[in-house]
C-alpha cells in the first residue's frame, strides 16, 4: 500500500521508501481536500453555528495545507534519492499554486467578511478576532478584492513566483562542485580534515559544504588555493540561478504594482513589525553609522597582520584572506586556538547539553526515540516531554551529504495547536544542519561557531514546539518575519555562558570540563571582528532592501552590479570580479525584503537576554516567563506586546550595542 503523506499519521510515513508517485498523490490529495472545503463553504452540507466554529474551520483548511507543505518542503531538500526529491521540488510549486488559489478565493474572503459581521462576533476572544483580522488583511494583500482582470494577473504572478522560488532554492541545494588539490595545497589543515577528503588518486577533494569550506578558509596556508575555493563557493548555482533571480525580482515588482504598492518592499512589510520601508532604511543606516568605527578598527588589526606576512597588496584585505588572518589574531593576540577549543565540543555532547539547557530553562525533557521511519540512517528522532506527556517531536539531520540542504535550518512539519476538546495536536519539526562527519576514531568535533549555530536553530525549534496556540496559523514560528529570529538569536547566548557551557563542554578524550581560563579567552576574543561581522549582516539586509525597494534589472544595471556597488560602498573587503554571491543567497527566496529582520530581531534578543544576565542565566522565574510570554504565544499576541510584557518596559538597543562593542558610539 502506497504511503499517503496527507492522510497518514506523521510518524507512520515511511520516508526511506517514498516514491515520486507518493509525492504526487499527496499533492493531489491536498487539492481534493481544499476543493471539498470550498464546497462546504458554499453549500448547506456543513453548518457552522458560531463565529468560533467558522474561524476554526478556516484554520483547519490552511493548517492541513501547511502540514503537507511543510513535510514536502523538507523532503525536497533532504531525500537522498533523486527521483522522489525532484518530485517533491515539483510538488512544492504545485502546492504553492494551491495556496495561491486559496488566498485569492472570493468565497473564502466573503466567508471571512461575513464572519466579521456575524451575530456573536463581539463575544469571541481577542485571539480569534486577531486571526480573523489577519486573515482578511492577508486576503486583501493577495488582491482578492481587485477587479477580475487584475486579480487574474496577480494570480498568474504568484503562481510563477511559486515555481521560481522552488527552482532557485533547489538549484542551490542540488549544486555540486569540488576543488581538487595536491598535498602542497593542504598545508596548515588539521589531519582529520585532510584524511576525510583524500581521493583514491592521492589528491584532495574539497566540496562546497560549510564543513569543507570554512575550515579550509581558516587554516589553509596557500593563498592561491583559498582564492580558488572562494571563487567556486561564491559562484554556486551561478550557471542556473542568475536568470531565475532576475525574473523573481522583476515579478515581485510587477506584483507590487498590481496591488498598488510603490515597491515589493512596501507590499511585503505591511504585515511585519517594521511596517514601512523607510523604517527599515532608517534602522539599517543608523546601525551602519554606529558600527563603522568598530569595523574599521577590526580591519586595521587584520591589515597589520597581513603586512607582517609580506603578502601582496598589503593595504587591502580580501575576503579569501579574512578568515585566515582572523585565526592568526585569535591565536597570537588572544591565545585562542580553535583547533584546541573544538576538542571540547563533541557533537553528541553539544546536542545533549542543549537539551539540558532547555530542561533547566523550561522544565522539558528531551528523549531520543527509536523511530523506524527516517529518510537517512544518520537521522534521529526525539520527543519533548513535560509532566509525562509528549508535547512535541522532532528529527535531527546533522551531517552533510550530496544534494542535501546546504545550510542550517528548522523545518516545521506539523503545526501544533490546542483544539476545542483541550487535546493538543503535537507539533513536529526537523532540524537540518551540516556539521563535520565523524571520521575513523575521531568523533564529530564542532568549532564554537557551529555550537552557536546549533543553539540558534534549536531556539527556532523550541519556538515551534512549545506553542499553546488554539490555531495552527498562529502557532510557533508563524509570527512576523522580522520577529521570528528573536528566540533563535536569544538562545545563542547560552552557547557563550560558562554556566551553560560547563554542563556539556568536555574534552572528547579526557572528559575535562572546558577550563575557565579557556572560556575567558573566548569571551575576550568575542568582540574581535564584531564590527566586520555586523557590517556583513547589514550588507545582506541593505542588498535585499535595495533589490526589493529601489531596483529593477535592465540592460544598464544587473543584480550583480548592485552587489558590486553595495559591497564596495558598505563593506571593507573589496568585491571580487567574477563572483555571483547573489545566486546562492537563499534568503532572497524566503526572506525577500525581510533579511533586515536578523538585525532587527537581534536587538530584541539582546535586550531580553539582559534580563537573564542580571537575574541569572538559569533563572527559573524568567525561563518560565520567557516561555509563557513569547515562546508559547506564536502570533496570538502582537509581537511588540510580547516583548514589552516580558521586559516590563519598552525595548532598548543598548544591550545590543554593548554586545558588539559599540555602546559608546553615536
Name 394's bridge partners.
382, 429
pLDDT of residue 117: 86
Query: What pLDDT digit, counting tens, does each position of 190-237 carry?
Result: 998 999 999 999 999 999 999 999 999 999 999 999 999 999 999 999
pLDDT of residue 666: 43
| Parallel/antiparallel/unpaired status of strands 204-206 and 389-397 | unpaired
Query: What pLDDT digit, counting tens, does each position of 382-417 carry?
Result: 999 999 999 999 999 999 998 999 899 999 999 999
Query: What pLDDT digit, counting tens, does each position of 49-82 carry?
Result: 789 989 999 999 999 888 888 999 999 999 999 9
Q: Name the pLDDT band for 554 (thresholds 50, 70, 90).
A: confident
pLDDT of residue 1: 42
Query: What pLDDT digit, counting tens, does each position of 613-664 carry?
Result: 999 999 999 999 999 999 999 999 999 999 999 999 999 999 999 999 987 6
Residue by residue, DSSP assigns 13-76 as --GGG--HHHHHHHHHHHHHHHHHHHHHHTSTTS---SHHHHHHHHHHHHHHHHHHHHHHHHHH
Report the alpha-carbon distance of residue 572 to residue 317 in Å, rounded: 8
Least confident of 21-30, 177-186, 261-270, 547-556: 547-556
Q: Which residues contact 163 (CB under 8 A, 6 or more apart)?
A: 93, 96
Packing angle, helices 51-78 and 148-174, rounded to 10: 30
Query: What pLDDT digit, counting tens, does each position of 315-329 carry?
Result: 999 999 999 999 999
Per the document, the length of the chain is 666
Q: Which helix (H) or strand (E) holds 137?
A: helix 126-141
Q: What would the 3-class secondary structure string for 222-284 be?
A: CHHHHHHHHHHHCCCCHHHHHHHHHHHHHHHHHHHHHCCCCCHHHHHHCCCCCCCHHHHHHHH
466 three-class SS:
coil
The architecture that CATH gives domain 343-527+598-659 is Orthogonal Bundle (1.10)
Q: Name the pLDDT band for 4 (thresholds 50, 70, 90).
A: low
pLDDT of residue 418: 85
Task: Assign a CATH topology to domain 238-333+530-595.
Answer: 1.10.1370
Report the alpha-carbon distance of residue 300 to residue 306 in Å, rounded: 10
Residue of 374 and 48 predicted with greater confidence: 374
C-alpha cell at 267: 507590499
| 10-103+105-141 against 343-527+598-659: fold identical | no
Query: What pLDDT digit, counting tens, does each position of 485-540 carry?
Result: 999 999 999 999 999 999 999 999 999 999 999 999 999 999 999 999 999 999 99
Q: Given a cut of 90, is residue 38 above it in pLDDT?
A: no
Residue 339: Cβ within 10 Å count: 16
pLDDT of residue 3: 52
Q: Which helix (H) or strand (E) holds 412?
A: strand 409-414
pLDDT above 90: percentage of residues in the chain: 83
3-state helix, strand, coil in the chain (%, to 5): 60, 5, 35
Q: Name the pLDDT band for 439 (thresholds 50, 70, 90).
A: confident
Please calculate the CA angle 466-470-472 and round it to the nearest 5 degrees.
75
Report the alpha-carbon distance of residue 408 to residue 73 in Å, rounded: 14
Q: Are residues 165 and 248 in contact, defined by beta-carbon separation less than 8 angstroms?
A: yes
Q: Given a cut of 50, is residue 343 above it in pLDDT?
A: yes
Residue 638: Cβ within 10 Å count: 16
C-alpha cell at 482: 522580522
Residue of 341 and 68 predicted with greater confidence: 341
- Terminal C-alpha separation, the chain: 66
Q: Given a cut of 90, is residue 480 above it in pLDDT?
A: yes
Report the alpha-carbon distance of residue 269 to residue 256 in Å, rounded: 11
Report the alpha-carbon distance of residue 400 to residue 407 in Å, rounded: 9
Q: Which residues contact 411 (CB under 8 A, 6 or more apart)?
A: 70, 73, 74, 77, 429, 430, 431, 432
Query: What pLDDT digit, counting tens, does each position of 87-132 carry?
Result: 999 999 888 889 998 999 999 999 999 998 888 899 999 999 999 9
Q: Name the pLDDT band for 44 (thresholds 50, 70, 90).
A: low
Name 418's bridge partners.
424
Q: Name the pLDDT band for 16 (thresholds 50, 70, 90).
A: confident
pLDDT of residue 252: 96
What are the residue boundaries of the structural domains of the chain, listed by start?
10-103+105-141, 176-233, 238-333+530-595, 343-527+598-659
Distances (CA, A) of 498 to 494, 632, 656: 8, 27, 20
Q: Name the pLDDT band for 83 (thresholds 50, 70, 90).
A: very high
Summary mean pLDDT of the chain = 93
438-459 mean pLDDT: 95
| Parallel/antiparallel/unpaired status of strands 380-386 and 389-397 | antiparallel
Dihedrals phi, psi of 176, to nearest 5 degrees? -130, 130
Q: Given a cut of 90, is residue 277 above it in pLDDT?
A: yes
Strands laid side by side in the 409-414 sheet: 365-369, 380-386, 389-397, 428-432, 409-414
Q: Given a cut of 90, is residue 48 above it in pLDDT?
A: no
User: What class, spelled out in words, does domain 10-103+105-141 have in CATH?
Assistant: mainly alpha
Report the alpha-carbon distance of residue 574 to residue 562 in Å, rounded: 14
pLDDT of residue 6: 57
Q: Which helix (H) or strand (E) holds 458?
A: helix 448-465
Q: Given a cut of 90, is residue 423 above it in pLDDT?
A: no
Report the alpha-carbon distance of residue 520 to residue 113 in Å, rounded: 59
Amino acid at each position: 500500500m502506497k504511503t499517503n503523506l496527507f492522510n497518514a499519521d506523521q510518524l507512520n510515513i515511511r520516508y526511506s521508501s517514498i516514491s515520486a508517485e507518493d509525492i504526487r498523490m499527496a499533492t493531489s490529495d491536498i487539492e481534493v481536500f481544499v476543493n471539498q472545503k470550498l464546497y462546504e463553504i458554499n453549500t448547506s452540507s456543513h453548518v457552522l453555528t458560531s463565529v468560533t466554529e467558522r474561524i476554526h474551520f478556516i484554520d483547519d483548511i490552511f493548517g492541513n495545507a501547511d502540514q503537507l507543505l511543510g513535510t514536502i518542503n523538507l523532503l525536497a531538500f533532504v531525500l537522498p534519492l533523486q527521483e522522489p526529491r525532484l518530485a517533491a521540488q515539483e510538488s512544492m510549486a504545485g502546492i504553492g499554486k494551491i495556496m495561491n488559489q486559496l488566498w485569492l478565493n472570493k468565497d473564502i474572503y466573503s466567508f471571512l467578511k461575513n464572519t466579521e459581521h456575524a451575530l456573536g462576533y463581539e463575544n469571541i476572544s481577542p485571539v480569534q478576532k486577531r486571526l480573523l483580522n489577519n486573515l482578511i488583511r492577508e486576503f486583501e494583500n493577495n488582491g482578492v478584492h481587485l477587479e477580475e482582470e487584475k486579480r487574474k494577473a496577480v494570480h498568474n504572478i504568484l503562481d510563477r513566483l511559486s515555481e521560481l522560488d522552488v527552482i532557485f532554492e533547489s538549484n542551490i541545494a542540488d549544486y555540486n562542485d569540488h576543488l581538487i588539490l595536491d598535498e602542497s595545497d593542504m598545508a596548515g589543515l588539521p589531519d582529520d580534515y585532510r584524511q576525510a577528503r583524500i581521493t583514491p588518486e592521492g589528491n584532495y577533494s574539497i566540496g562546497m559544504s560549510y564543513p569543507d569550506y570554512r575550515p579550509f578558509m581558516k587554516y589553509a596556508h596557500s593563498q592561491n588555493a583559498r582564492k580558488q575555493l572562494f571563487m567556486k563557493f561564491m559562484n554556486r548555482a551561478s550557471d542556473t540561478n542568475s536568470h531565475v533571480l532576475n525574473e523573481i525580482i522583476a515579478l515581485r515588482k510587477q506584483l507590487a504594482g498590481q496591488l498598488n504598492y510603490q515597491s515589493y518592499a512596501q507590499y511585503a512589510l505591511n504585515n511585519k513589525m517594521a511596517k514601512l520601508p523607510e523604517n527599515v532604511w532608517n534602522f539599517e543606516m543608523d546601525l551602519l553609522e554606529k558600527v563603522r568605527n568598530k569595523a574599521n578598527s577590526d580591519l586595521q588589526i587584520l591589515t597589520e597582520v597581513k603586512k607582517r606576512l609580506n603578502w601582496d597588496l598589503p593595504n587591502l584585505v580580501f575576503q579569501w584572506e579574512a578568515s585566515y588572518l582572523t585565526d592568526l589574531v585569535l591565536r597570537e593576540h588572544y591565545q585562542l586556538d580553535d583547533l584546541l577549543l573544538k576538542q571540547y565540543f563533541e557533537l553528541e555532547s553539544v546536542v545533549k547539553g542543549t537539551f539540558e539547557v532547555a530542561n533547566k530553562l523550561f522544565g522539558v525533557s528531551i528523549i531520543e526515540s527509536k523511530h523506524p521511519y527516517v529518510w537517512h540512517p544518520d537521522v534521529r528522532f526525539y520527543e519533548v516531554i513535560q509532566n509525562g506527556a509528549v508535547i512535541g517531536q522532532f528529527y535531527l539531520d546533522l551531517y552533510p551529504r550530496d544534494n542535501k540542504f546546504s545550510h542550517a535550518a528548522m523545518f516545521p512539519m506539523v503545526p501544533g495547536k490546542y483544539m476545542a476538546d483541550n487535546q493538543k495536536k503535537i507539533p513536529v519539526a526537523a532540524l537540518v544542519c551540516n556539521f563535520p562527519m565523524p571520521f575513523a576514531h575521531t568523533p564529530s568535533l564542532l568549532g564554537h561557531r557551529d555550537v552557536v549555530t546549533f543553539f540558534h536553530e534549536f531556539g527556532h525549534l523550541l519556538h515551534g514546539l512549545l506553542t499553546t496556540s488554539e490555531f495552527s496559523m498562529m502557532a510557533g514560528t508563524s509570527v512576523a518575519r522580522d520577529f521570528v529570529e528573536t528566540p533563535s538569536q536569544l538562545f545563542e547566548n547560552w552557547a557563550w555562558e560558562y554556566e551553560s557551557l560547563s554542563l556539556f563542554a568536555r574534552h572528547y578524550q579526557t572528559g575535562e570540563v572546558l577550563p575557565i581560563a579557556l572560556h575567558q579567552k573566548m569571551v575576550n576574543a568575542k568582540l574581535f571582528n564584531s564590527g566586520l561581522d555586523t557590517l556583513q549582516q547589514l550588507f545582506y539586509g541593505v542588498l535585499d532592501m535595495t533589490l526589493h525597494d529601489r531596483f529593477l534589472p535592465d540592460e544598464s544595471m544587473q543584480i550583480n552590479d548592485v552587489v558590486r556597488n553595495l559591497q564596495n560602498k558598505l563593506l571593507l573587503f573589496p568585491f571580487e570580479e567574477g563572483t555571483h554571491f547573489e545566486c546562492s543567497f537563499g534568503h532572497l527566496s524566503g526572506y525577500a525584503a525581510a533579511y533586515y529582520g536578523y538585525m532587527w530581531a537581534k536587538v530584541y534578543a539582546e535586550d531580553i537576554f539582559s534580563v537573564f544576565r542580571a537575574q541569572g542565566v538559569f533563572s527559573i522565574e524568567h525561563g518560565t516567563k520567557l516561555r509563557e510570554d513569547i515562546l508559547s504565544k506564536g502570533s496570538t499576541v502582537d509581537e511588540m506586546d510580547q516583548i514589552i510584557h516580558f521586559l516590563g518596559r519598552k525595548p532598548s538597543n543598548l544591550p545590543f550595542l554593548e554586545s558588539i562593542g559599540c555602546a559608546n558610539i553615536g
